[in-house]
Structure 1
Amino acid sequence: MTTVTDQHGHHHAPELRNSTSDQPQGPKAATTTTNSCAWAAWRRVDVAEAPRQDTRMRSRTAGMWWGAAIEAPEPGALARFYSELLGWPIGHEEPGTSIIAAPQGSIYLVFQQAADYRAPVWPPVDGEQRPMMHFDFQVGDLDSAVADAVALGASLAAAQPQENVRVLLDPAGHPFCLCLDED
């Protein structure tokens, strides 16, 4: 996988495209609720009914890739964890950076080395490193998904705020959620 390094030192994979659809991928109207995973809220929203102003980036078109960069003390190890957890291939590795990409096309995750990395604390505690973001993954069987994640190196968080969600910590300490939606 070829990457482009921007002026901030972030690596991007410009050739990641969704070749099967001209439709935008991912959440169309993400909203956060306290009673369910964010994906459960957006999947129920009919964006055709919502009034919209054209405030998007005009240079962004359907099928362009997007992703998130995650800091880690060992990016290759964390990329392998999420690669195995999600079944996404590792598309690129170099010292300090590893990239996994969704088989469906335009989504990728970059894991970048952080020399002074401090794992976030879950649940948040005043004065400690807060989680700045987390992943939500829909699953069909919560117990087996938790067992699979733990077998790969995740740990179950002590605080579990919802019955249909399990908060886990990845090997670098980032929280992520496995969400069961039975609707």
Structure 2
Amino acid sequence: MTLIQTDPPLAEPVTLAELKAHLRIDAADEDELLEGLIRVARAHLEAVAGVALMSQGFRLLLDDWPRGSVIQLMKTPVQTIDGILVYDADGVAQDLALSDMLLDATARPARLVIKERPRPGQPINGIEIEFTAGFGSALEVPPELKRAILVHAAHLYEFRGAVTLAMQPASIPPGYDRLIAPWLRRGL
């Protein structure tokens, strides 16, 4: 199972102005750095929590259908299933009808059930599920997740001289884990 981001978010859940107000910065000379720290903090949160904060496209690649009837999409909330392709042995794609599915879009991770599941002919990545996930706008992002991004970006800004932007996130601020705890995937 491989999850690929096909369309990045067009905006961030936290604006530059919000981060500057949080940090009490008035000058514009570090705006580029601050925007980069917002992106790093958002990407880290999405990776550890399995959420998509802003609308973005994904492609889930499967070698075969799961043993049970439920396919876990690994991101939440899912807005739409955009297409399902199954490849035959010659690499020719067959489109599955989207009317034959049931989607639990807000589960963590989101779940999909497809009634008719033709066997893929190619042994690797024979199934592709394209979907759009994320909250509709920054206003819909839960406040604790926005706060986590602000706290994390501020922490990264505070320690910006110790580690380059490319090596971030180098550390997590105290209290961050408590902010995102309700959104983490738990396993037994």
Shorter-normalised TM range: under 0.3
When Rg is computed on C-alpha atoms for both structures, the one with the higher figure is 2
Name whichever structure is richer in helix by fraction. 2
Output the TM-score relative to the length of structure 2: 0.23
Output the TM-score relative to the length of structure 1: 0.23
Higher relative contact order (CA 8 A, sep 6+): 2
